[in-house]
């Protein structure tokens, strides 16, 4: 048991997640999809007897066991603000290892729909992380969590890439989408997609910068695996087929990584 947990152990209950220390049974690892609908699928992917602990607002939580160790699956909702609440409250309950399991929109030309992208770091366009650490502070994955995810992707023989993601505060203008209500992108963001491509940013998503910044600042460990659900060179729209492929592959890698994560 870590120093942090020993210090905090008690009957702590957190407001938004509607979880308490007793209920999470000392879980130190949490898998974090954005979508509450993905939570049971992930949890039952490693423990058919996983059960729901709470479902409050966008935060749905399941607890399962992997090799006898408790593992949480908790949805963060979309974007930095809601993710910051999930990470903050899980950290207060004693969680130490966080893995975002999400989807992304491909930017780099060599990436295909269905590929897995594992973040080594992210561009901090999320908006929320600056309230935890100044913008000069890096948003990087913890090397042990990164290694666990890479090892899992390799062992499953998935097509995967490791590199920098851009975590944006908005899905439409922030990712330079023109199929929006206004049909155009504010001046400050025009050309941003091409610029990120030039700078070798692999894909867009919306939560990892908040998670990485907070986990590093708290002295905790975080990683992020995403599945590519659309490629922005070809389309702005996420199709059902693309979503299914990307989701499945990211979930498979995260679940396989538990083998290493529960030993960290
Ligand atoms: N998630 C994002 O943030 N953007 C996409 O294009 C797809 C998934």
Catalytic residue among 38, 60, 100, 232: 232
The total number of residues shown for the chain amounts to: 264
Catalytic residue among 124, 161, 177, 221: 177
- pLDDT of 231 > 80? The answer is yes
The string of pLDDT tens digits covering residues 59-96 is 999 999 999 999 999 999 999 999 999 999 999 999 99
Q: What is the pLDDT of residue 6?
A: 45
Q: What is the pLDDT of residue 10?
A: 65
In this structure, the residue with its CA closest to atom 8 of ligand 1 is 104
**Distance from the alpha carbon of residue 140 to the mean position of ligand 1, in angstroms:** 19
Contact 123, 195 (CB under 8 A): no
**Distance from the alpha carbon of residue 125 to the mean position of ligand 1, in angstroms:** 14
- Residue from 108, 113, 205, 242 whose mutation best tests the ligand 1 pocket (most atoms within 8 A of CB): 205
**Distance from the alpha carbon of residue 4 to the mean position of ligand 1, in angstroms:** 34
**Distance from the alpha carbon of residue 218 to the mean position of ligand 1, in angstroms:** 27
Chain mean pLDDT for the chain: 95
Mean pLDDT (whole number) for 126-133: 98
Region at 25 (left for phi over 0; alpha for psi -120 to 50; beta for the rest): left
Is 232 part of the annotated catalytic residue set?
yes
Is 100 part of the annotated catalytic residue set?
no
Contact 47, 66 (CB under 8 A): yes
**Which residues have any ligand 1 atom within 6 Å of their CB?**
103-105, 171, 175, 204-206, 229-230, 238
Q: What is the pLDDT of residue 9?
A: 55
The sign one gets for the Cα dihedral 69, 212, 73, 250 is negative
Q: Please, how many CA atoms are within 13 Å of residue 10, restricted to the half-sphere of its CB?
A: 7
Atom number in ligand 1 closest to CA 232? 6
- Residue from 174, 204, 226, 240 whose mutation best tests the ligand 1 pocket (most atoms within 8 A of CB): 204
- Residue from 206, 231, 235, 239 whose mutation best tests the ligand 1 pocket (most atoms within 8 A of CB): 206
Contact 167, 207 (CB under 8 A): yes
What pTM was computed for the model?
Answer: 0.96
- pLDDT of 3 > 50? The answer is no
**Distance from the alpha carbon of residue 105 to the mean position of ligand 1, in angstroms:** 4
The string of pLDDT tens digits covering residues 187-222 is 999 999 999 999 999 999 999 999 999 999 999 999
Q: What is the pLDDT of residue 32?
A: 98
Q: Which of 33, 155, 52, 162 is nearest to 101 (CA)?
A: 33
How many percent of the chain have pLDDT more than 90? 95
Mean pLDDT (whole number) for 213-242: 95
Q: What is the pLDDT of residue 1?
A: 41
Is 89 part of the annotated catalytic residue set?
yes
Q: Which string of DSSP letters, residue by residue, matches the chain?
A: --HHHHHH-SS-EETTTTEEHHHHTT--EEEE-S-GGGHHHHHHHH-TT-EEEEEETTEEEEEEEETTEEEEEE---SSHHHHHHHHHHHHHHT--EEEEEEEEEE-STT--TT-EEEEEEEEEESSSGGGTS-TTS--B--HHHHHHHHHHHHHTT--EEEEEEEEES-SSGGGT--SSSSSS--GGGTTHHHHHHHTT--EEESSHHHHHHHHHHHT-EEEEEEEEEEETTT-SPPPHHHHHHHHHHHHHHHHHHHHHHTT-
């Amino acid at each position: 048991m870590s120093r942090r947990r020993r210090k905090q152990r008690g009957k702590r209950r957190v407001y938004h997640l509607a979880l308490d220390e007793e209920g999470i049974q000392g879980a130190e690892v949490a898998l974090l999809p954005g979508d509450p609908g993905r939570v049971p699928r992930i949890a039952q992917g490693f423990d058919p007897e996983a059960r729901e602990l709470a479902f409050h607002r966008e935060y749905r939580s399941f607890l399962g066991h992997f090799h006898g160790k408790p593992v949480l699956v908790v949805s963060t909702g979309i974007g930095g603000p809601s993710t910051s609440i999930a990470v903050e409250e899980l950290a207060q309950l004693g969680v130490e290892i966080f893995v975002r399991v999400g989807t992304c929109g491909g930017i780099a030309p060599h990436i295909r729909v269905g590929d897995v992208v594992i973040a080594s770091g992210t561009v901090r366009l999320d908006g929320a992380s600056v309230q935890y650490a100044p913008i000069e502070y890096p948003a990087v994955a913890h090397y042990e969590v990164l290694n666990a995810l890479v090892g899992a992707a390799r062992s499953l023989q998935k097509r995967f890439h490791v590199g920098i993601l851009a975590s944006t505060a908005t899905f439409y203008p922030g990712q330079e989408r023109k199929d929006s209500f206004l049909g155009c992108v504010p001046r400050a963001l025009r050309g941003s997609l091409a610029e990120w491509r030039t700078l070798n940013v692999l894909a867009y998503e919306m939560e990892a910068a908040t998670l990485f910044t907070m986990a590093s600042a708290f002295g905790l460990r975080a990683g992020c695996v995403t599945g590519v659900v659309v490629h922005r060179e070809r389309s702005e729209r996420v199709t059902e087929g693309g979503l299914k492929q990307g989701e499945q592959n990211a979930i498979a890698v995260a679940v396989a990584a538990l083998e290493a994560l529960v030993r960290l």
